[in-house]
Chains A and B, each alone.
Chain A
Amino acid sequence: MSQSESHPSADKALLDELIAVLAPERVSCNDLDRLAYARDTFPLAIKGVAQGDRTYQPDVIVWPETREEVAAVIRLAASHGIPVVPYGGGSGIVGGALSVQGGILLDLKKMNRILALDSLSLTVTVQSGALGGVLEDQLGAQGYTIGHYPQSIYSSTVGGWIAHRGIGTFSTRYGKMDDIVVSLEVVLPDGQIMTTRSVPQSAAGPDLNRLFLGAEGTLGVVTAATLKLHPLPEARTHMAFAFSSFADGVECVRRVIHRDYRPAVVRLYDPVETQAQFSSLGLEPGQAVLLFVVEGYPELVDLTARSVREIARGLKPRDLGTAVGDYWLANRFSTASLCKTLTKPYGVADALEVANVWSRLAQTYTAMKEQMEAAAGPNGQVYGHCSHFYHTGGNLYMIFHAEADSVEEVSDIYYRILDAAFKTSMGNGGTLTHHHGVGLGKGRWMPQELGDAGFGLLQRVKRAVDPTNIMNPGKLGL
């Protein structure tokens, strides 16, 4: 049975029913609209749609404005047995928002209102389609921030952050979405609306928020979320150092974190990225730049900055002053080089983010770089940085650029490099993904990531919550 047979595409009856619950202008099966939604930011989908490829186009797009409308759409989809794909900013780079089996695409960006702000508890409740850049501006005007600044903040939504368990560049102070979410409102695959309690902690069984963090729309649609807030920082300072090796840089960060300091931004560039980004600093080959940005209340900023500097000096780095931080703060949202490679007919580039514990972090970096370079071939380039750190370890952000010999081979080389990267990460005890999620692109490695028992459990959870498999089918390897 073909995929399209298992999920018949939108028919006239369904369209009429959708129009009845929404409004004609909020339902579209127009060809242009479908093409626009046939990509998110998965590199292969960007390249495909640029050639007019419609492989991942939905049958119909809807723009709900309320949770009740979302629920009505889901009930309709369930009654017709048609897939539903939630879509936020479409900035996900693993193909999570692609309509692999057609169906209804639910663009949530009209659901973009702040519903409540509790200035005593420091929480904000917001609809899930709010774009990050707009939301932060609105909160900033009232003196607050969520502190979640992914590089894609101007093109991603709250729902997408939650669905992929995303992280921002200031994470070492403000945390990952896993830490930021207080409660969720979710439309379940049968159309029921579930709301978890906005409480600091609870012991009422397993945490249902966690079921939807990272679920990528496969278990329901997040329609609103209560998130932690912080007052805008009163002070900020930054400093950078060049270490004689990447491993020394890792060791410096470990000492800082294990001393319980939490600079907001910690970025350690490998020697290749160091040379590419900071060539003007005249650094020796092999050196690794480490940047700290510290922000918050002045007295804590002062203490943290002094202590971080002292800890760093113990490893005898070169003090680079403020130039690196100034440059990074001004350019932190740009991913221009990745996009540039994608414009080449045979070019492909991506950023793979894994994580491991301190004791295996540096070795995982070395092994991944080696394996990815071998897979990328002589025209490839691999480099990376670490930018999120925890008590037990940190992430590795491995970037590659490669060129195939023909258009047809682009996908082959892409998956060859991913395979090398993920098998090496997991082989070293690391994870498949630290914050981009799984989507379509990484699904094939999920059984290895979770193990047979773990993956089997995830499959059973999916079947129990969504027995007709209408919610974003084909993602998470399910």
Chain B
Amino acid sequence: MSDLIKTHGLELDRCAFCHDQCMSATPEVVATGDQTLVVSRVANFIRLADQGRLDWTEGLAKRLFYGLNDGLQYEYCLVKKEGHRIEPFLRAARAEAVRRGLAPAAVAAAAARVRDTGNVFGCLETLPEPVAPSRGGPILVHDAASRALTPDALAAARLLLQDVGDGPGELAIASCGMVEFDLGYVDLSQAAAHHVHAALAALPEGPVVTGDPVLAYALRVMYPQWGLPLNRQVLHLSEYLVDRTDLLPTFRPRNEVATFHDPAALSRGLGIVDAPRALLARVSGLTLVEPVSSGAAAGSDGPLAGYPDPAVASAIRHARFNELVSTGASLIITSSPYSKANLEAADGGTPVFDLIEFLQSAR
């Protein structure tokens, strides 16, 4: 028996006895119509398995990994006011499944890539030496997600940081450890996190900035929980730039209609909703239309990595893509490498930009 109930008993009980008000906000249920993926059912499986009333099997493990775990349910949760969360127990249960050797093939393959290359994308990279910032400037941090999924946005970030003129430094890391943590590979996650923590400790003072909200969330929220406080500000690029708009270049008018997709880690994780919109408002001629769900309640665009069912991932990103294009927008803008990759994979004809890449293209 593991310690799942001991550590997460209250949350597991709340969900297992729940009236399921988060069902419409559980994308994998909407995509599959499968009641076994409803949070109350998954929570109950975990309780019963922990009590020894249900066997830990591959089938049970697979259901644990279907959850996008991106906090959307929380927006609809009937015990939201009490700060209820499902991510902690789901991650702990995934870790238990991994410990028992029950990880689904796609999850195990993702972990194997991390072991082989240091990142979940399997990119074999030689990382450049860190560049120290000058004059207390920011340190642009990126991991393989930005380099593999949105290299143009990363290049644009460098240029915009030069524009605002604080003498930015740069730190390329293999992985911040968040994806591994979410998939239940705690050892891999912690190894990555310790590495990043040490690398940042070796750099002079100055805020960390990143265009990847998953990385920002890990550094700002998870590292302190893992006993690795950074003792420096961690900012998403949109937050950093919006405070320096007077230093930004003038953007060319773009007479287009765009919609902004709020990435989960940015809006729900970090509570950043206004900053990207404020930056887009600086592009004259650009009309921003809101989709049905936006901000903290924005629909999910799909998983980060290692998802056990590609067809379900595809259905989820298509549903979000369709919601975004139903606004009538001719372009979709988001601000996360994972979200951009997911929405692009929906392959629906409407171009998808990263926020920073879009701003750079409008200068």
**Residues of A in contact with B (beta carbons under 8 Å apart):** 30, 32-33, 35-37, 41, 46-47, 49-52, 63, 87, 89-91, 107-112, 129, 131-134, 137-138, 140-141, 152-155, 333-336, 338-340, 342-343
Q: Which of chain B's residues has its CB closest to A43's CB? A: B17
Q: How large is the interface on B (under 10, 10 to 19, 20 to 34, 35 or more residues)?
A: 35 or more
B24 CB contact (under 8 Å) in A63, A87, A107, A134: A134
- Tally the A-B contacts, defined by beta carbons under 8 Å: 120
Across the interface, do A91 and B20 meet the contact criterion of CB distance under 8 Å? Answer: yes
Question: Residues of A contacting B323 with CB < 8 Å?
Answer: 137, 141
Q: A89-B20, A141-B292, A155-B19 are in contact. Are A339 and B36 (CB under 8 A)?
A: no
Across the interface, do B44 and A339 meet the contact criterion of CB distance under 8 Å? Answer: no
Across the interface, do A63 and B33 meet the contact criterion of CB distance under 8 Å? Answer: yes
Q: Which of chain A's residues has its CB closest to B16's CB? A: A50
Q: Which of chain B's residues has its CB closest to A347's CB? A: B17
Most buried by A among B25, B63, B78, B82: B78
Contact segment of B45-53, B85-93, B151-159, B276-284:
B45-53
Jot down 20 A-B pairs with beta carbons below 8 A, ordered by A: A30-B59, A32-B60, A36-B35, A52-B53, A63-B34, A87-B35, A90-B38, A109-B34, A110-B32, A110-B33, A131-B23, A137-B293, A140-B292, A141-B323, A152-B19, A154-B21, A155-B19, A334-B21, A339-B19, A340-B14
Across the interface, do B35 and A133 meet the contact criterion of CB distance under 8 Å? Answer: no
B21 CB contact (under 8 Å) in A32, A50, A112, A333: A333
Counting CB contacts under 8 A, is B30 at the interface? yes
Question: When each residue 62-84 of chain B gets 1 if its CB lies under 8 Å from chain A and 0 otherwise, what string results?
Answer: 01000000000000101100100
Across the interface, do B14 and A50 meet the contact criterion of CB distance under 8 Å? Answer: no
Counting CB contacts under 8 A, is B18 at the interface? yes
**Across chains A and B, which 10 residue pairs bring their CB atoms closest together, nearest first?**
A133-B24, A109-B33, A110-B33, A36-B36, A154-B24, A155-B20, A36-B41, A155-B23, A52-B53, A334-B78
Question: Residues of B contacting A343 with CB < 8 Å?
Answer: 13-14, 17
B24 to chain A, nearest CB (A): 3
**Residues of B in contact with A (beta carbons under 8 Å apart):** 13-14, 16-25, 29-30, 32-36, 38, 41, 44-45, 47-48, 51, 53-54, 57, 59-60, 63, 76, 78-79, 82, 291-293, 323, 326-327
Q: A32-B45, A41-B19, A343-B17 are in contact. Are A52 and B33 (CB under 8 A)?
A: no
Across the interface, do A90 and B20 meet the contact criterion of CB distance under 8 Å? Answer: yes
Bound complex: CA of A35 vs CA of B38, how far in Å?
13
Q: Which of chain B's residues has its CB closest to A338's CB? A: B19
A33 CB contact (under 8 Å) in B29, B36, B53: B36
Q: A32-B60, A41-B20, A112-B33 are in contact. Are A336 and B78 (CB under 8 A)?
A: yes
Q: Which of chain B's residues has its CB closest to A132's CB? A: B24
Question: Residues of A contacting B19 with CB < 8 Å?
Answer: 41, 91, 152, 155, 335, 338-339
Across the interface, do A141 and B35 meet the contact criterion of CB distance under 8 Å? Answer: no
Question: Residues of A contacting B13 with CB < 8 Å?
Answer: 343
Across the interface, do B35 and A137 meet the contact criterion of CB distance under 8 Å? Answer: no
Given contacts A90-B35, A131-B30, 6 further A-B contacts (CB under 8 A): A36-B36, A50-B16, A51-B53, A131-B24, A334-B21, A343-B13
